[in-house]
Amino acid sequence: MNIEKVCDQSQPQFRLFRHKEMVGATDGRIILVTNKSENSDYEQASEPIKEFLEKFAEPSEVNHGLPMPRFTQEKDPCLECLGTGKTLVCPECEGSGNLTFSTSHNEYEVDCDTCNGAGRIQMKSAEFEKAEVCEACGGKGSTFPETPVLLAKNEAGNRLCLNSAILHRMKENLENILFYPSQNMQEENFSYSPVEFTFNGGWGVIMPVMPPQEV
């Protein structure tokens, strides 16, 4: 279990914190807490986080929880590596497409021979074979879009709408996830209430996202 990886660490709101007997992580969109306290070096939770934790207690087991539903979501080709899984930035010109030379009289620029001035290396070149793994997609060549996706309906017909990128990070790093959607999240009229969930060893809350236009 890794609650840190569920959050988007590139967000300025990303925090690791501790509060009472709990440790947690948040990126402003999702907040997770666990009773495991081995990370006692986390900073003390800020007042807004403390107030949030007091407001949302762990969901009651009496309520009916939705298990992690099966779903499919088209992946977007990674824009950084164009789906190759490798870093395509030219190592010679560092992506600028040109090289700067200087003499005793002046400076001048020429097109980079390695990438022919494109700033990216050719996929069938020797440089491509030596290229490092793309950091943006972790070498997978694709990313899950940061867009809402319809997940499931419970027995009452209420729908649960979350962000697909968040969902995949949850699926990869947490176990035995159960969702507890707001009771007033109706079929035709979404209320944008936070969605609570539990997982092995802890619980969390996801802030609302706009529902998709089409199902």
Residues 139, 78 share a domain: yes
**Final residue in a domain of this structure, among 118, 143, 168:** 143
Residue 130, domain member (yes or no): yes
CA–CA gap between residue 13 and residue 41 (Å, rounded): 19
Residue 148, domain member (yes or no): no
Report the Cα–Cα distance between both ends of the chain, in Å, rounded.
32
Q: Work out how many domains the chain is built from and give that number.
A: 2
The closest of 93, 19, 3, 105 to 56, measured between CA atoms, is: 19
| Tens-level pLDDT at each residue, the chain (215 residues) | 688 889 888 888 888 998 888 889 998 888 999 876 665 678 888 888 888 888 877 776 656 777 776 655 556 778 778 888 888 888 888 888 888 877 777 777 888 887 888 888 777 777 787 888 888 788 888 776 655 555 555 555 555 666 677 887 888 899 988 887 665 544 444 445 677 888 998 999 887 655 444 43
Residue 132, domain member (yes or no): yes
Q: Is 60 helix (H, G, I), strand (E, B) or coil?
A: coil
Sheet strands (E) in 103-141: 107-111
Q: Name the one residue in this structure whose structure tokens are 């809350």.
A: 205
Contacts of 166 (CB under 8 A, 6+ apart): 6, 8, 29, 30, 206
Residues 59, 89 share a domain: no
Residue 214, domain member (yes or no): no
**Final residue in a domain of this structure, among 90, 111, 143:** 143
